[in-house]
Amino acid sequence: MPRRPIITLPALTLRLQVQGPQTAAELAAAAGVHRSQVSRTLADTADAVVQIGAARRARYALRRRVRNIGDRWPVFRIDEAGRAHEWARLEAFHGGFRMEWAGAAPAWCALLEVADVDGWVEGFPFFLGDLRPQGFLGRAIARRVTETLRLPADPTNWGDDDTLVFLQSEGDDLPGDLVVGDVPLRRTLARQVAPPDSVAESDRAVRYPELAAQSMQAGVPGSSAGGEHPKFLTHVRVAEDTRAVLVKFSQPLDTPAGRRWADLLVAEAHALDVLVNAGEAQAGAQVLDAGGRRFLEVRRFDRAGAHGRRGVVSLAAVHGAFVGSGGANTWVQAAEPFAVAGLLAPEALTSVRRRQAFGELIGNSDMHFGNLAFWLRDELPLHLAPVYDMLPMLWAPAAGGEIVPRTFAPLPPTPAQAADWSVAAGWAEVFWQRVAADDRVSPEFAAIARESGATVARLRGRFSP
């Protein structure tokens, strides 16, 4: 008489480790046993194996410990007054993650297919992806923590577990309003009692060159922000007010590359000013020359006052969650499916079209998906955050610092693009006029501005509806 097949707990957990979540029927079929035997065996696993979902949706998943930081973490949001609210709990399993929402699941969950009805997430949650170190400051942070945290030196090579380890160590002052874990939250709240050093507005001419030198030496004064241009983050005190700012800076002004970056920072200030008047950017950009460098100070729109925060998420993160890799080359191509699906407000899509056209008409050759962001709120539709990193990158120095002649040849609009393009072309004409007339701009770049403005005027005269 053949022996009755049996299933052991090690065999079940091994299958869950390799295959990810499985139903009782799938586990039973793989082992050749009745599903009741699977259920009895899994009842002895305490908390290691978790049932996700109920009735026909029920699956079993095996918890996965992430190095020495555990397998579950609360996710908090910091509101504009600086108060912390528990938003969700993130749990790591073999095969994915689960989000347990403190309240109702955000409205975008179903449309973005971020998590199923039981909170299961196949990959790393998209709203945490932007918290990986990025750009100039991100690389400096990675260099600082890579040895102690045993992480790859290049953050673009980090996996999900690397990011979680980083969030537990450095996650108290990152972009947006999310904080993952109790310890980072306590450090976040401690900043409200003993805030980090800030700069008096009257002391910027002294302190900004010092902070620039620290930043160049990779002693990063502030948290991670995307973008490759040298920058630092700080707080500026104005009377009784404190504002969080991002400060870009040029190389020394007595070098060709430094002179050109100084021109571009003035141009960025004018682009922001034009877009403030159009309702697309946040006011408050300031240009300052000090210590042989030029500085552009802009207010952080993901911060409110001294302690408050606002949630933001990049187009790169949302597009990756909604569409996946590929499928779009421009902001407009990436955003249009969101509008069709009800994710994006119609007026936001109009803004995306105009921002892209404006960028093309001022020579912004760096409009990647990380340079457009939305407010991250629980409700729909998504609304655009203010413009940032909008400048004529076409004329940036080459990697070695050489100033290379560039050809400015923006393309005319298609008939469907003409109305929004025409609005943006009007903004671009004003932009080039202001840059050409600014005495802080070098004669060489003023000539570029005059020629570029004339190019935009000819296009606008020929192709505006």
Phi, psi values for residue 314, rounded to 5°: -80, 160
The catalytic position among 162, 172, 173, 366 is 366
HEC profile of the chain: CCCCCCCCHHHHHHHHHHHCCECHHHHHHHHCCCHHHHHHHHCCCCCCEEEECCHHHCEEEEECCCCCCCCEEEEEEECCCCCEEEEEEEEEECCEEEEEECCCCCCHHHHHCCCCCCCEECCCCHHHHCCCCCHHHHHHHHHHHHHHHCCCCCHHHCCHHHHHHHHHHHCCCCCCCEEECHHHHHHHHHHHHCCCCCEEHHHHHHHHHHHHHHHHCCCCCCCCCCCCCCEEEEEEEECCEEEEEEEEECCCCCCHHHHHHHHHHHHHHHHHHHHHHCCCCCCCCEEEEECCEEEEEEECCCEECCCEECCEEEHHHHHHHHCCCCCCCCHHHHHHHHHHCCCECHHHHHHHHHHHHHHHHCCCCCCCHHHCEEECCCCCCECECCCCCCCCHHHCCCCCCCCCCCCCCCCCCCCCCHHHHHHHHHHHHHHHHHHHHCCCCCHHHHHHHHHHHHHHHHHHHHHCC
Record the tokens describing residue 33, joined without a space: 């046993």
Examine the residue annotation and report whether 254 is marked as an active-site residue of this protein.
no
Distance of CA 173 to the CA centre of its chain: 14
Q: Return the C-alpha torsion angle 52, 58, 59, 65, nearest 10.
A: 10
* Other CB atoms within 10 A of residue 33 CB: 16
- Where helices occur in 236-295 by DSSP H, the ranges are 256-277
Phi-psi region of 398 (alpha: psi -120 to 50; beta: other; left: phi over 0): beta
The CA–CA distances, whole Å, from 263 to 123, 306, 309, 437 equal 42, 31, 32, 12
Active site residues: 366
